[in-house]
Structures are given as C-alpha cells and as structure tokens.
Amino acid sequence: MTILYPFPAVIGQEHAKKALLCALANEDIRTVLILGDPGTGKSVLARSLGSISRGKKVLTIPQNITLDRLLGSIDLETAISTGMVRLAPGILEQGNCQILYADDINLMDEGIVSNLLNISEIEDILLEREGFSHHARTRFLLVATMDPAEGDLSAGQMDRFDLCVTLDKIEDSELRADIIRKRLRFEKFPEEFIREYGPQVIDLEKTLEAARERLPYVSIPEGHADLISSLCLELGVAGQRGDLAVARVAKALAALDGRDNVIFDDIKLAALFALEHRRRDVPDHPPIAPPQKEDETKDNEKETKGEEEGTKNQDPKTGPGSSDRNHQQGHIQGNQQDQQEKDKKNLPTPLPPLPAEQVFGIGSPFVVIQYLNEASRKTTRKQKSGRRTRVISTDHSGHYRSFRLPGEDRYDIAVDATLRAAAPYQQSRERHGLAVSVKKSDIREKIREKKVAHTILFLVDASGSMGVRKRMVAVKGAIFSLLTDAYQKRDRVGLMVFRGADSRLLLPPTQSPELAVWLLQTLPTGGMTPLTKGLADAYDLLTRGKYAAASENKSVVLLTDGRVNVSWKKNGSPYDELTDLARTVAGTGIRFVVVDTEEGYPLLGRARILAGDLEASYFRLEDLCSSQLVGMVQDFVYNIKR
C-alpha cells in the first residue's frame, strides 16, 4: 500500500478538483495541466488522484527520464539469455489505463515533452530503433504541473492539454489554518488520517462510477453546441481541440451532477477549464481586475469588454505602454507614482540631481519575441524555457539525452545503449565466461546536453531626450518585459544606464534580478547623452574582470535612440567617436542588440546606423512585443447573457 494524501482532504481549490474529477469521469479527457505558484499544492493534488482512482495507479514521470524508458527499448535480459529481441515497454506503455504524472513539465527536456503529449493524443506508440520495430496502443490520463514563473510551454504544447486550471490563492485564514493542521496530522499519523477520510473517498468513488456509467447517455442540446463553437471563435482559439475539450468537460460535469442534459452552467465552467490556456499569446501578467464591490465589478466588466474590442483592432505596432486607454495600466501607474513620491523622499537619488529630472513609471509588460536567438539557432536545438541555449556538452557533465556511434578521440560510454546493441548477438559470440561479450562495433557513446547561461547586460539611455512624450514609460515597460523573459530563460542579467556625464552599473549581472524592478521604478531620466561612454563601459564590464569568464555567451542589449551629445575622449565629434568605438567592439565575441527607442518626427535613424556599425541585430521598441494582449476568458464567459 502506498500512502497518498486523500483527495477529499485537499482544502479549497474547488475548480482544480472539479477539473480533475471530470478527467476521471470522462476517459476522453486525456491531459490536465495544473498551474500554480510554489507551495500551493500542485503536486499534492495531482498525486492525491491515486487515492480515488480505484485501481488506476499514478505513475511518476521523473524530470530526468530518458527516451528509452519513456518509449521502451530492447529488453536486455531476454536478449542476452535467449538471443530474442523483445521489447521492455517504456513508461507510456506501462501507463496504459493508468494515470501518468509529470511534475514541472515546463522544465523537462523538449523531446520528452513532445513525445509525451503526442502519444497521449494519438494513443499509439510506434518505435523504430535498435534494429526492430514495435507498435502498441496506450491510453492514459496525463496530469502535469508547472509554475508559469519558471517558463512557459509553447502555444502548440499548451493546446495539447485538454484542461488547464490555476490553483487559487487561499486568503481565508480559517482555511489556511486548517491546511496547516491537516498537513501536520497527515505527516504524523498518515494511516489514521487516511482512515478518517475513508468514507469520503468511497462516496467520491461511487459518484465517479455513476458518472462514468451515465456519460454515454449525456447529450448536448443543439443550441449549446453552437454556443461552444462561437465561444471558441470569439476567443481566437485555433484549431478544434478547444471545442472538443469544452464539449467533453461539459458532458463530464453533467454526468457528475447526475444529469443527462448539458446545461448552460456546465458550458461556462467547461470553457474556463478548456479555453483559458488556448488563447493565443497569453500575457504573462494578465490584467485581472482586483476583486471589487458588486456594482463596481459590473461596470468594470463592461469597460473591459469594450477595451478588448479596442485592443483587438489595435495596430500591433502601437506597442506597450503607449496606449493610455487601458484603465488597468492607469491604475498601475497611479500606484507607482505614489511609490515614487515615497521613494523620492526617503531615498537618496542614485545619480546627482539634474534640472528637469523626471521619474517615470513602468509601462505595461508584454511577451517578448525571441530577439536573441537567430544567431544561436543554427547550432542548437529549439528551446522553450529554462536556459536560452542548450549545447551538446563536450565533457562528462550535463544531462544524458541520447546516444550515438562514438567519435574518434573520446569515449563517454552509454552502457545501456552499448549493452542493448550487443545483446542480440550474444548467442553466437564467444563470451569468455561473462554473460555479455561486447565488441567494438557495439559501443555507443552518450550525447550529453548542457545548458549554457547567457549574460545579458541591458544598457539603457536615461538622458533627457527619453523624457520627451513620456517615452521612458514605454522603455521601462520594455526593459521589465525583457528582464522577465531573461529570468524565465535563466539568463544572468545586468542593468547599466548612462546619462549626464557618465554611465552607472545599477545591477551587476545576476541570476536573481528581482532587484532590477525596484531600481527601474526609481530610475530618473534627464541630462545629456554619453552614449559612447556607456558603450565603452558595458564592453569593459563584460570583457574584463569577473564577468569576462562568467559565461560563454554575452550580449549587450542597447536601448537608445542612437543620439549622442557628450564626447567620450574629448578629442573628436561625439558621432565619430561612437562610430569608431562601435566598429572596434563589433565582432569581438559579444553579441549586440540595438533596440531603437526613437519616435516622432523627424526620425534621424541614428540607432539603425549604430546597429550597422556594431553588426548588431536591430529592433524597433514596438517590434519586441510578440502580439497584442488578448482578453481574458473569464470576462467573456461571465458576460455571456442567455
């Protein structure tokens, strides 16, 4: 008997629990994703499914699983002892009719995740490797968890999940206290605790059993079926998976409730479970209105809806922070202004005060396009989260991903693969008293994969010109988004600004950049533009001293309009100096990205010239935003009037 926390003893999280019950009631639901912050009980909830699944086991797919164990591979023992090629089934085949559980799926190897999601859908394992082929049917329920702050799955991968629920934050103090008490009791007297929940577990199992029996007889009335498709269309859900998932969940909800007819409420809840994660380009920090009083909320909902239509028609070029229509944003900025006033009073300004100095808030965040990748893409695999670049490791470190025939000079033997290669020949080979005889041709070598950290230094123009038309608001919004992106990809990030006569390193490159937000908020704008000096200092920082050796990949992301009006070495025109320096540092191993912040007329295009001199990638500030924000499902769902 394995000891599992009983499902009914999970406090709160009614939505997530409902979604999981649906998955158990309707076998056509094959994948559930649970999102939540650390410590909110994602894993506890996922694993507790085993306590009510009656006979279905929860099999854990570990983070570092290798492909041979996922899909299956030749059975070593049989091959050696009998010479027969048999398959040792992988966990996906062993999981047939069971529940598979993958923790932190967003941190897993890309190849593993795509195989996992693909097979869960096609219910078919087709294996062609090591000289034999294998085909098997498998059907399992996949329950995965992740903390979105650690990185996202791709939109395509998200779409493969039938349901996706986010764990609520529990704010009721009674409930929180109850959670502590229950958890401590469970840790201390697990058997007794499980016994206490025995009756509730049995009730739940009966409900599930009845729901499964009823399910084939549950139907969706014609009008409701139309509603599902129009919902999906309105929310911009691509493909048909969303529609199907809503229908399946709605049926399961009706069956759990003991009804043969799907009602409107079933569809509303089902849409919440099945569509939220399918909206294209989910913003990282969704603009959810804080809970407000009844009447206020209604007004807000109307407003939000209006805005969403506005947002939809909005030209994608009108980027972050530039839209003042969004009341959410206004709200955020208001707060920040208060904060800034406080900061101004209490804290010494980081730089000597200059006339006309201003402090701007941070514009609204957005999802950043893959702006750093084009150069590294050729040599590395497609990546999603975790570190930006994965490279094939040349020493014995890193994660064992696959194997190959060995190269000339080095052996990092993949013992399992080597033995599998040798296994079928054992009957005919002279074995010298050993069980296995390995020949040189059998030897396989490990391919290990290592993640390489990037160091990204953001070099920001904070001179007076950035204050014009509050351009700094948008710039800060962009830096914020870039920092978030860098954090999720586990880059090391630093922040350097230049204005007045000098540059200043606000944040030395670190993996823990939350400090940057605070620095960003209090960052004043004003003064002259010593761009050349800033560039020289950034280059020095990354090429000398302790950051020089810190990582193999170094980038400078320069946010500027390309204008310079302070001479660096006082021996020439500022622009000539800049051109000279740019051409000197170009091609020295540091990658440069120029983000052009210039706007208005006339456009001088200085940043583009600088990018050319630096051999840098060039983006306009607005182009960094991967798409406009799309409205929240909740707003749609709760606004539908019958």
Partner 1 sequence: MTVKTPVYPFAAIVGQEDMKDALLANVIFQSIGGVLIRGEKGTAKSTTVRALADLLPEREVVKGCIFRCTPSDTRNLCESCRGKIDRNERPETESVRMRVVELPLCATEDRVAGTLDIENAITKGIKKFEPGVLATANGNILYVDEVNLLDDHIVDLLLDAAAMGVNFVEREGISYSHPARFLLVGTMNPEEGDLRPQLLDRFGLVVDVQGEKDSTLRSKVVKRRLAFERDPVAFMQHYEPQQQAIRDRLLVARGIVTDMEPDDQLIDTAVKISLTLDVDGHRSDLTLVKTSLAFAALDGQNKVKREHVMKAARLSLPHRMRRRPFEESRMDFGTIRALIEECYGR
**CB closer to partner 1, 148 vs 612:** 148
Q: Compute φ and ψ for 3, nearest 5 degrees.
A: -100, 115
Residue 380 sits in the site that holds partner 1 (CB under 8 A): no
Dump the DSSP string for 67-110: HHHHHEEE-HHHHHHH----EEE-HHHHTTTSEEEESSGGGS-H
What residues pair up with 392 in beta bridges, in sequence order?
A: 449
Nearest residue to 56 (alpha-carbon basis) of 143, 137, 146: 143
User: Minimum distance from CB of 48 to partner 1 (Å)?
Assistant: 13
Residue 276 sits in the site that holds partner 1 (CB under 8 A): no
**CB closer to partner 1, 323 vs 418:** 418
**CB closer to partner 1, 126 vs 415:** 415
Those residues with Cβ within 8 angstroms of residue 230's Cβ, 6 or more apart along the chain or in another chain = none
Q: Which stretch binds partner 1 (CB under 8 A): 113-121, 147-155, 199-207, 559-567?
A: 147-155
Residue 426 sits in the site that holds partner 1 (CB under 8 A): yes
Nearest residue to 275 (alpha-carbon basis) of 323, 304, 306, 243: 243
User: Minimum distance from CB of 420 to partner 1 (Å)?
Assistant: 7
Active site residues: 241
**Count of residues engaged in binding partner 1, rule: CB under 8 A:** 81
Residue 36 sits in the site that holds partner 1 (CB under 8 A): yes
Among 276, 416, 461, 577, binds partner 1 (CB under 8 A): 416
* Ranges within 508-567 binding partner 1 (CB under 8 A): 510-514, 516-518, 521
* Ranges within 77-116 binding partner 1 (CB under 8 A): 77, 80-81, 88, 91, 94, 103-104, 107
**Which residue intervals of 189-316 are DSSP H helices?**
190-196, 198-214, 222-234, 241-256, 264-275, 294-313
Give CA–CA dist 100/113, Å, rounded. Answer: 13
Give CA–CA dist 557/475, Å, rounded. Answer: 12
How many residues does the structure list for the chain?
642
User: Minimum distance from CB of 569 to partner 1 (Å)?
Assistant: 33
* Ranges within 179-198 binding partner 1 (CB under 8 A): 179-181, 183-184, 187, 190-191
**CB closer to partner 1, 22 vs 483:** 483
> Residue 613 in 3-state DSSP?
helix
* Ranges within 435-494 binding partner 1 (CB under 8 A): 435-436, 438, 450-451, 480, 483-484, 487, 490, 492
Sign of the torsion formed by the C-alpha atoms of 327, 329, 332 and 337: negative
Render the burial of 372-404: b for 16+ CB within 10 Å, e for the rest. beeebeeeeeebbbbbbbbbebeeeebbbbbbe
User: Minimum distance from CB of 52 to partner 1 (Å)?
Assistant: 19
Give CA–CA dist 613/580, Å, rounded. Answer: 8
Give CA–CA dist 89/74, Å, rounded. Answer: 8
User: Minimum distance from CB of 111 to partner 1 (Å)?
Assistant: 14
* Ranges within 39-58 binding partner 1 (CB under 8 A): 39-41, 43
What residues pair up with 276 in beta bridges, in sequence order?
A: none
Binding mask 309-348 for partner 1 (x = CB under 8 A): ----------------------------------------
**CB closer to partner 1, 454 vs 563:** 454
Joined together, the tokens standing for residue 627 give 């798409």
Among 15, 56, 57, 76, binds partner 1 (CB under 8 A): 76
**CB closer to partner 1, 317 vs 396:** 396
